[in-house]
Structure 1
Amino acid sequence: MYGYGTGMTGWGFIAMAITQLLFWGLLLGGVALLVRYLVRSHHDANLPPTRQTPQQVLAERLARGEIDEAEYQRRLTTLRSS
């Protein structure tokens, strides 16, 4: 009962082939978009942080204990005057 006995004409086979091509095209396109999104997300996560201002770097050095408060104030005054 398979084949021509089912009543499917040439147009039915063409419609089935076009539908199958559309299905696979959409599926592969969706996979490509998903891969592009995942690669872009991974790339954005590896970007260096935004550049810090000199005042922020100085404040972090004070917080880590690399400089004392007097040194911090002296350098901060120098930064603000220039």
Structure 2
Amino acid sequence: MMYWYDHDLDGWGYAWMSIGMVLFWGLLIAGFVILVRLAMRPDPSSMNRRELVAEQLLAERFARGEIDEKEYTDRLATLRRHLTAGHS
């Protein structure tokens, strides 16, 4: 009743087991990294919020009299040009 003597792992068995372990952990770590990157990616709607916040700050400076109308329109045009170029 010696069933297990013929079923030991030989050199190739250990090699395949090691390769399988490296592949398993590599795929697990790669999947974790991909999930973290997807979670940290900014959503497109946040870009719209950034535009509004930047324009609101500029409008507040204009309303307080920190900048004149020409500077306000120039900066607003530059801001909108820069932000729309970033979306493309």
TM-score range, shorter chain: 0.3 to 0.5
The structure with more helix, counted as a fraction of residues:
2
Provide TM-score, normalisation by structure 1.
Answer: 0.47
Structure with bigger gyration radius:
1
